[in-house]
Amino acid sequence: MPELAALIPIAAPKPGLMLPPRVARAGGQTASSEQRAASMIGYLRSVVLTPPARHERGHAIFVDANHGWLGDAPCGIGSLTSLSLRMRELLGDALRHNATGIILAHSHPSGYCRPSGCDIATTRRLAQVAQALDIALVDHLIFTADAVYSMRAGGLL
């Protein structure tokens, strides 16, 4: 069942996991794809769950064809239950970074770690518009204090 596979409990952060992805290197060598992914997830979690966590907060990481970090940018602060995403600005940032992919994340301060109907519709629309610009929406992650939901793993992307 993809729905269950998409919900991942978050353990206490591991040392070094919260480093920005641009410094995620192991002994001067490029980090493995698993280390890069863990670093990016930890980084996004730290950004979107920054106190006070009373509002939904969005952030994006821009990646190259190998899913290497190129840059990142905030993409909105909303209310307790919604976030207004400005696709034009987000895709403009992606183009300025010459990104081939975007990893989008936002928080659900309510603690409910599942996408809303609006989350799903907006994500699918963003994926369509980005695809027209040769940019892939790699994933859309939803964070709560205890878990992260991957819309890609959940079959919604």
Q: What is the pLDDT of residues 72-93, one digit of tens each?
A: 999 877 766 667 778 899 999 9
Domains and CATH numbers, the chain: 16-22+30-150 (3.40.140.10)
Full-prediction pTM beyond 0.85? no
For the chain, the residue count is 157
Rounded Cα–Cα distance for residues 154 and 11 (Å): 20
Rounded Cα–Cα distance for residues 150 and 9 (Å): 11
Residues 6 or more apart in contact with residue 19 via CB below 8 angstroms: 39, 42, 43
pLDDT tens digits for range 23-60 = 444 444 566 777 777 888 889 998 999 887 788 889 99
Residue of 142, 12, 2, 135 whose CA lies nearest to 78: 142
